Chain A
Amino acid sequence: MMMDDRLALLRQIQEVEFAAVELNLYLDTHMEDQRALMEYNQIHKQLMMLKQQYEMLYGPLTNFGFSPSQYPWKWIEGPWPWEQVY
């Protein structure tokens, strides 16, 4: 089912982005940790790829010029995050 595919990809994005948040907060207090920084940059690449893939299939995750939109303007399309039923 198309919905399941979308949620599976979204879940993967949530997982990778969560690792990015965790490494980001860690690096805020450990600016000299080279290994954590390397992992952060790796996660960044992975996250950008996943988001691009998601946005091509299901529309933009971000607005204000951070993602392109197909016609018609896809940003307003639901479900919005609080409406999503799993």
Chain B
Amino acid sequence: MNHQDPRQHHPKMMSPFGIYPIPFMPACPQYANAYVPYQYYCQSFPLPEALMKGTLFPELYKPYMPERQLGGE
């Protein structure tokens, strides 16, 4: 397997590594912008479970709970 840092292969590539790593949330949030938290992958479901759940990532698993109604109480 190739463990080399891909940066070394494309020193003149237009962009990438300049903006990485991207923080969980922006350091300086701006008004009138929408931000999604940037995922940091730590754990994964076992493969059979991942397929059944529809995601490999426990932090992204948000099953539908039909009983919970929004706007009530």
Contacts and interface: CB of A to CB of B under 8 A. Distances in A.
Contact of B16 (A14, A18, A23, A31): A31
Contact of A22 (B17, B21, B55): B55
Contacts of B29: none
B48 interface: yes
What range describes how many residues of A lie at the interface? 20 to 34
B2 A19 contact: no
A32 B20 contact: yes
A31 B56 contact: no
Interface stretch (A34-42, A54-62, A76-84): A34-42
What range describes how many residues of B lie at the interface? 10 to 19
A34 B20 contact: no
Given A22-B57, A23-B56, A26-B39, A32 B47 contact: no
A15 B50 contact: yes
B51 A36 contact: no
Contacts of B55: 22
B7 to A, nearest CB: 8
A19 B20 contact: no
Closest 5 CB pairs of A and B: A22-B56, A15-B47, A18-B51, A15-B51, A32-B20
Interface of B: 1-3, 5-6, 16-17, 20-21, 39, 41, 44, 47-48, 50-51, 55-57
